[in-house]
Amino acid sequence: MFVNLNRFILMSLVVWCFSFSCLATESQLKVNKKAVIKGVAFKGDIEARRDKGILHRKHADIGVRLPLAIKDLTLGVHYRRVYSLEEDGWALENRPYVQLEQKFKGNNKLVWRLRVRQEFRDREGKGHSKRSRVRAKVVLPKRIFNAKPFVSHEYYYDLTAHQLSQTRVDMGVTFDKFKTVVPQLSFKIVAKQKDKWQTSSAIVLSLAF
């Protein structure tokens, strides 16, 4: 019965992603690379975002993940370089950040991940700011049709403006490793607080090496 439920959820997520792909305002491609040396993970990624065919955001990220004394708890220290397309060209953001991530395995065989991230943002033309992010993610443990479905929900809090500035929901599937790459396909919905709340969506393809 549990396997049948997994299959139903997986197929529903895949159909849901492709059904909403025509409604997505953005498409994203992300490439990740990880190397583990004596239990310490060194990570890097690059990402490109396109809106109606126009490249409008790109970033490069590098960092290290350190295992802590508590089981399945890791500390991450990263630096991200972000470029956003503005009216007068590309604007640079320097974003160092630290994070803690805890992995839980429930009795219902679901795998939970709770992540807390603190970002320090230096944006060209906008000055310095700080932002906190909290994300909860749940992953089905068994591969069904060579894939694992997942759902995550994240909140962004602007510590400079003292307000909730963004929320994000991701639903998708992570496929089994194919030769040297692990593909992941997801649908993302983002709500941002500007003068008023504005919603956008994206189809995201991630490739992990």
Comparing C-alpha atoms, which of 50, 45, 62 is closest to residue 184?
A: 45
Residues 33-66: tens digit of each pLDDT: 999 999 999 999 999 999 988 999 999 999 999 9
**Residues 6 or more apart in contact with residue 158 via CB below 8 angstroms:** 129, 130, 131, 164, 165
**Considering only 131-145, 148-162, 186-200, which range has the smallest mean pLDDT?**
131-145
Give the model's pLDDT for residue 28.
Answer: 95
Q: What is the mean pLDDT of the chain?
A: 89
Residues 102-115: tens digit of each pLDDT: 999 887 789 999 99
Contact between 172 and 190 (Cβ < 8 Å): no
Give the model's pLDDT for residue 166.
Answer: 97
Is the model's pLDDT at 1 over the cut of 80? no
**How many of the other CB atoms lie within 10 Å of CB of 156?**
20
**pLDDT category of residue 23 using cuts at 50, 70 and 90:** low
Q: Go through the chain and tell me how many residues it has.
A: 209
Give the model's pLDDT for residue 2.
Answer: 45
Q: Which residue has the higher pLDDT, 124 or 142?
A: 124
**Residues 6 or more apart in contact with residue 169 via CB below 8 angstroms:** 151, 152, 153, 154, 188, 189
What does the CA dihedral 105, 119, 159, 127 come to, rounded to 10 degrees? -160
pTM, two decimals, is 0.85
Give the model's pLDDT for residue 11.
Answer: 53
Q: CA of 26: how far to CAs of 53, 137, 138, 204, in Å?
A: 8, 22, 24, 9
Which domains can be identified in the chain, with CATH numbers? 2-208 (2.40.160.40)
- The pair phi, psi for residue 5, each rounded to 5°, is -65, -40
